[in-house]
A = this chain, B = another copy of it.
Amino acid sequence: SAQRSLWVRTITHCQKEHLSTKLLPEELPPDFLRAVTCQVCDHLLADPVQSPCQHLFCRSCILKFNRALGSHCPACTLPYDVSDLTSPAKAFLGILHSLPLLCPKEGCGERVKLDSFRDHYHDHFCKENTNEEQNNAEQNLDCYLPVNKGG
């Protein structure tokens, strides 16, 4: 798992782009968590695509994964063609984008929907408007990286 975490970082480089499951306000059931996380990077799904074997990945992750390791599914190893990736059901995307995340900015503690989280979070720092704090913000989000999640 530590090993997997390592190669994922070297292939996807998505730590600063994607959101960690640690932003969820409570410990959700593992089966549910797996259903909303990328089977490549373990972050919350970002712009997800679905394989013919019906597993889900961030679009950028599966493309990088395929380029590095060939086009088989990272979850079940089934081979498939990249052109067979489809968009997940709209009802599923609605649920994903409405997941409540807990803003980690000190003193905020607001629950923000996943699809407006990034805007909300960055607003904290745009208002304060210094480069130094912008950097802190990014470091802060890094603390919510998933590590050693098993599987």
Binding site for B on A (CB under 8 A): 24-32, 34-36, 50, 54-56, 88-92, 94-95, 98-100
Question: Copies per complex?
Answer: 2
CB A97 to nearest CB in B, in angstroms, measures 12
Contact residues in B for A34 (Cβ distance below 8 Å): 31, 35
Listed residue (A24, A91, A92, A99) with the most chain B CB atoms within 10 angstroms of its CB: A91
Is the CB–CB distance between B29 and A88 below 8 Å? yes
Inter-chain contact A91/B28, CB cutoff 8 Å: yes
Q: Which of B35, B89, B94 contacts A27 (CB 8 A)?
A: B89
- A89→B24 CA distance, assembly (Å): 11
Min distance, Cβ A149 to any Cβ of chain B, angstroms: 14
